[in-house]
Chains A and B, each alone.
Chain A
Amino acid sequence: NAGVTQTPKFQVLKTGQSMTLQCAQDMNHNSMYWYRQDPGMGLRLIYYSASEGTTDKGEVPNGYNVSRLNKREFSLRLESAAPSQTSVYFCVGASEGVHGYTFGSGTRLTVV
């Protein structure tokens, strides 16, 4: 199915562990984004990539790194997970800037 695919859907980490959240899109989107969703705080932008080979920090980048491997893939890495990173993470692709957001189904991450 066409769209934005995130893996894994669920993950439990221990404090200090590392992991990479994967995101791939097959809609030829130029821009890709990572948001986190927390109760009462809406969605906050972590990082984004306006085009292949470029990445920029968003509102809450601390503790995360990203990689735009190619036009299709945009991964989010937690080098040393902390309980404060417990959240639902959404990858988004867009071809028309803010007018063309397509969301993945999310990754629910729990850090214990």
Chain B
Amino acid sequence: GDSVTQMEGPVTLSEEAFLTINCTYTATGYPSLFWYVQYPGEGLQLLLKATKADDKGSNKGFEATYRKETTSFHLEKGSVQVSDSAVYFCAAGDTGRRALTFGSGTRLQVQP
């Protein structure tokens, strides 16, 4: 079945630092790819998505590009803020499978 692998956390950065969180997937076919964010005590919220190779998803300064050749969807942000502290989940899925497969999550801590 499909699987999603994320870099382990926590990732600790100073404010205004550059962020990269790695994500790779294995799947039959070409799934859609997603990044979700979870703030303490809440459910997950969609951050961005890409539905086909070379698509770039972006939202709130975060970006990720669907790389078919490396089966990757790394999350990046040029300048993180304390308010970005959260857990980030990479996910993959397509309509035929009816459900998303999630990675294990990466905790980001941004220090002032």
Question: Residues of B with Cβ closer than 8 Å to A?
Answer: 4, 6, 32, 34, 36, 41-46, 49, 51, 89, 93-95, 97-105
Q: Are A98 and B104 in contact (CB under 8 A)?
A: no
Residue of A nearest to B101 (CB): A45
Which residues from chain A contact B34 at a C-beta distance below 8 Å?
98
Other A-B contacts than A45-B99, A97-B94, A98-B100, 13 sampled, CB-CB below 8 A, are A42-B102, A42-B105, A90-B43, A97-B93, A97-B95, A97-B98, A99-B32, A99-B51, A101-B44, A101-B100, A104-B43, A105-B42, A106-B43
Question: Residues of A with Cβ closer than 8 Å to B?
Answer: 4, 31, 33, 35, 40-45, 48, 50, 56, 58, 90, 97-99, 101, 103-106
Residue of A nearest to B89 (CB): A42
Q: Are B104 and A42 in contact (CB under 8 A)?
A: yes
Where chain A touches its partner, the secondary structure class is: strand
Tell me how far the C-beta of B72 lies from the nearest C-beta in chain A, rounded to whole angstroms.
17
Q: Are A105 and B41 in contact (CB under 8 A)?
A: yes
Q: Are B98 and A43 in contact (CB under 8 A)?
A: no
Subset of 25 A-B contacts with CB under 8 Å = A4-B43, A33-B99, A35-B102, A40-B104, A42-B89, A42-B103, A43-B89, A44-B102, A56-B98, A58-B99, A90-B44, A97-B93, A98-B93, A98-B94, A98-B95, A98-B98, A99-B95, A101-B46, A101-B100, A103-B45, A104-B43, A105-B43, A106-B41, A106-B42, A106-B43
